[in-house]
Amino acid sequence: MAGELLCQAGVRIDEALVAALLRHAQDTGGRLITANLSALLTNSRVLLEGPAIDSFLSAVNSAPPIARYITLSGLGYRALRGDDSSTHDLRHRLVRLFQADRSAPGPGDNELGVLRSLAWCYRKAYAQRFGGAAVVDPWPGLDDRAERAALAMMCSIQDDGAHVLAEHRSVQLAILEVQQVVAGDPCRPISGVHYLYCLAVARRHGGGIAELGRELPDLLAPTSRYALAVENYALVPELREIFAQCRRLVSGT
């Protein structure tokens, strides 16, 4: 709603606004400020100027892991949707960033495994939908390191186990809500299934919110609309393997 109101008001997201927001995030230590801006940009068609995109993406590597993950997941979705005047520039810049993530680790980020899978899937989908060089490197998969990293983004890991703080509950509720639109939006499965993986990991290791116990079994059921959407997602068939991993995590097998 906020994004649509900005569109109606003719607001443009320019470099000065992005710079001011990033300074505020740094000065206040607000871990989710950049992620919340990304959510606004993801779910609207508010105009993004090229220099603003550059400024925002250049700050991604220094953002907290969860903010980085939400930002690239959301902006990747908007670029794949491709239905507004900013998406061509956004996609061009994201492809370069996603290609860099393929070969070079971030500055100490622990979510690299999850992000590499996300980036690979978006690169393949962009190539399939919009043309360009085919993705020939194999899907990087989701190993034990990726699982530990996903858990660290979903909860706080202490010596006595996993703890869900207020910010973790907020994040889990938000990405659980995303799951409700995956079946009806042909551009949502990549971000949706990677988010689902994070929720399944949290559930498996006792770091998930109570709502997951009710929602995940229905989403993962073989005959669910969600399962059918993933099974029929021709742009990136590898999503089926992630979905299968989610089932194994939740079932404990």
Instruction: Please tell me the distance from the alpha carbon of residue 139 to that of residue 120, in angstroms, as a whole number.
Output: 6
Does one domain contain both 167 and 214?
yes
Does one domain contain both 193 and 102?
no
Using the 3D structure, point to which of 141, 168, 192 is the last residue of a domain: 141
Does one domain contain both 234 and 172?
yes
Q: Which residues of 148-158 are buried (b: 16+ CB within 10 A; e: fewer)?
A: ebbbbbbbeee
Using the 3D structure, point to which of 90, 116, 141 is the last residue of a domain: 141
Does one domain contain both 8 and 102?
yes
Given this model, what pLDDT does residue 101 score?
Answer: 65
Q: Please give the model's pTM, rounded to 2 decimal places.
A: 0.89
To the nearest whole percent, how much of the chain has pLDDT over 70?
95
Question: Residues 6 or more apart from 96 whose CB is under 8 A from it?
Answer: none
pLDDT in tens, 95-144: 999 988 665 444 444 447 899 999 999 999 999 999 988 999 999 999 99
**Of 217, 224, 209, residue with least CA distance to 246:** 217
CB atoms within 10 A of CB 78: 24
Given this model, what pLDDT does residue 122 score?
Answer: 97
Does one domain contain both 250 and 136?
no
- What is the rounded average pLDDT for all residues in the chain? 89
pLDDT in tens, 153-177: 999 999 888 999 999 999 999 999 9
pLDDT in tens, 53-71: 888 888 887 888 888 898 8
245, pLDDT greater than 50: yes
Give just the sign of the alpha carbon dihedral 80, 190, 34, 105: negative
Question: Residues 6 or more apart from 235 whose CB is under 8 A from it?
Answer: 124, 125, 128, 129
Given this model, what pLDDT does residue 200 score?
Answer: 98
Question: Residues 6 or more apart from 35 whose CB is under 8 A from it?
Answer: 63, 66, 67, 70, 71
Given this model, what pLDDT does residue 8 score?
Answer: 81
Does one domain contain both 104 and 220?
no
Q: What is the largest CA-CA distance in the chain?
A: 52
The burial of 76, by beta-carbon neighbours within 10 Å (0-12 exposed, 13-18 middle, 19 or more buried), is given as buried
Domain range for 218 is: 145-253
Does one domain contain both 209 and 178?
yes
